[in-house]
Amino acid sequence: MLVKKGDRVKLHFSARLKDGTLFATTEGKEPVEFRVGVGEMLPGLDEALIGMEKGEEKEITLPPEKGFGKRKEELLIKADRDVFRGREIKVGQRIYVQTQSGRTMLAQVTKIEGNKVTLDLNHPLAGKETIFKIKVMDIER
């Protein structure tokens, strides 16, 4: 049976950057389970899974637009330090912030200048090419 859009798959994977840095793996854990092609997984992984069969393995390289997205300058925002209400913050720190629309997002503090704090709301892997080694463990229609 070959994987089709809408199928539920169980997948083992390891994911690394071009420099070899491993950033995620299911090794020693349960496989991840999701429906293919419905937006539950990175677009490039969904595409790579179509047509694979149980037990099949492959390695794929995802460009940013098929992985964690391109970096967006509009996701670099400046906030008044007062917004953090006395919380100690430092460059490099990842913190949760609430956007004007009320959504909670993870941001990285990239700069602190006087009373202004620059936050990066991009995914930490945005703009990076990623390499996934995948193995289909099970397929359910």
Task: Give residue 122's pLDDT band: very low, low, confident or very high (50, 70, 90).
Answer: very high
Topology (CATH) of 8-69+126-140: Chitinase A; domain 3 (3.10.50)
Q: Residue 86 pLDDT more than 80?
A: no
Statement: residue 100 has pLDDT above 90: no
pTM: 0.86
Contact (CB, 8 A) for 13 and 135: yes
**Cα separation of 61 and 38, whole Å?**
21
Give the whole-angstrom CA distance, residue 11 versus residue 32.
Answer: 5
Look at the alpha carbons of 20, 15, 45, 109 in this order and tell me if their dihedral is positive or negative: negative
- The CATH class given to the 73-120 domain equals mainly beta
For the chain, which residues make up each domain, given as ranges? Answer: 8-69+126-140, 73-120
Long-range contacts of the stretch 22-30 (C-beta < 8 A, 24+): 23/125, 23/130
Query: What are the pLDDT digits (tens) for 53-84?
Result: 999 999 999 999 999 999 999 999 999 999 88
Residue 49 pLDDT level (bands cut at 50, 70, 90): very high
Confidence of residue 139 (pLDDT cuts 50, 70, 90): very high
Q: State residue 118's pLDDT score.
A: 97
CA distances from 99 to 50, 77, 106, 113, 121 (A): 36, 10, 10, 21, 10
Residue 97 has pLDDT above 90, yes or no: no
